[in-house]
Amino acid sequence: MKKAKIIIITCILLSLTSVTLVFADSPTASFSNCQVILPQSVKPNQKINILFIGDRLSSTGGIQGETKIIPGAYDLYINSVSDKNLVDTYFIDETNGNYTKTTSRTLKIKNPGKYILKSYFYVYTYIDNSWEETGYEIGTINKTINVIGPKYKISFNANKGKVSKKVKSVQAGNKYGTLPTPKRKNYKFKGWYTKKSGGKKITRNTLIKNLKKHTLYAHWFGPKGKEKTITRAEYNRITYNMTYSQVKFLIGGPGELEVSSYIGRELTEIYSWKGNGSVGANANITFQDGKVIGKAQYGLK
């Protein structure tokens, strides 16, 4: 019987230690009263004044169990909230519950785009005649800042092809939107790029960071082969990582599958094409998982 009493008393003590103290008459802060105030749209490099408002911030304490909510930090992201899009982190308050000021912050954002400011708020409790030195996160507030640049026109250079639309009006900070499709005989269109050779590929969903007018250049794949046999010039245009359909386009017809086997999980295939040149001229192209990894030729001209 004595053993049973000990077990019961122990359980009661353990349960009491796990209960958070609640002070019924103590004033408490509410996260619903917290705010982040800032402009929704700004220009590049414009000053952005941000106001972080907690709840019961001005309280200096004195009542056992009372609480206050203080803005503690923010993260700034571009496009969406994810680690890869993190632009900046700032700690607003590194003190404790004695903090009583309304916090403001001034930002400047250089590049146009959509930014998300994620603000963190912390709650502090007044216990044993002092505020807690460390609060705990009670919630976050996300606010969008659209950095909108100037409006201007971009030009399209078909780069030896033809395009029906030569210019388009855009605005920095927005996406490029619909882009024209140029044409070039015996070539496939690869896309629009920022440079005539090389550069960055631009799609309708690319965000415009450039603050002034610029030109987009068409890039091409080809030329298309004229026969099913392969020439030395066509062979030289075949590069690593091309797909089978691209190689077939360059040569002008399909190859003959010579080998197809799996090495582990990777499919290796070897195609051959008869060649233009000396007797027996040919080329073998090796693909792994659909991409060129090697090539060899004999007697091509």
pLDDT of the residue at 23: 58
Quickly state the pLDDT bin for 186 (edges 50, 70, 90).
very high
CA angle 77, 78, 79 (to 5 degrees): 120
Domains of the chain, start order: 26-147 (2.60.40.10), 151-221 (2.60.40.4270), 232-300 (3.30.1450.10)
- Per-residue pLDDT tens for 87-103? 999 998 666 788 888 88
Q: Is the pLDDT of residue 11 over 60?
A: no
pLDDT of the residue at 94: 61
Q: Is the pLDDT of residue 5 over 50?
A: no
Rounded CA-CA distance 146/39 in Å is 9
Q: Which of 67-76, 94-103, 255-264 has the lowest mean pLDDT?
A: 94-103
Instruction: Look up residue 173 and give its amino acid.
Output: G
Rounded CA-CA distance 300/234 in Å is 10
Average pLDDT over residues 164-189: 95
- Per-residue pLDDT tens for 174-184? 899 999 999 99
The token pair that represents 192 in the structure block: 């629009």
Q: In what order do the strands lie in the sheet with 103-108?
A: 35-37, 47-53, 103-108
pLDDT of the residue at 16: 37
Q: What is the pTM of this model?
A: 0.65
pLDDT of the residue at 15: 41
Provide the percentage of residues in the chain whose pLDDT is more than 70: 91
Rounded CA-CA distance 123/138 in Å is 6
Are 63 and 44 within 8 A, CB to CB?
A: no
- Per-residue pLDDT tens for 24-62? 579 999 999 999 999 999 999 999 999 999 999 999 999
pLDDT of the residue at 93: 65
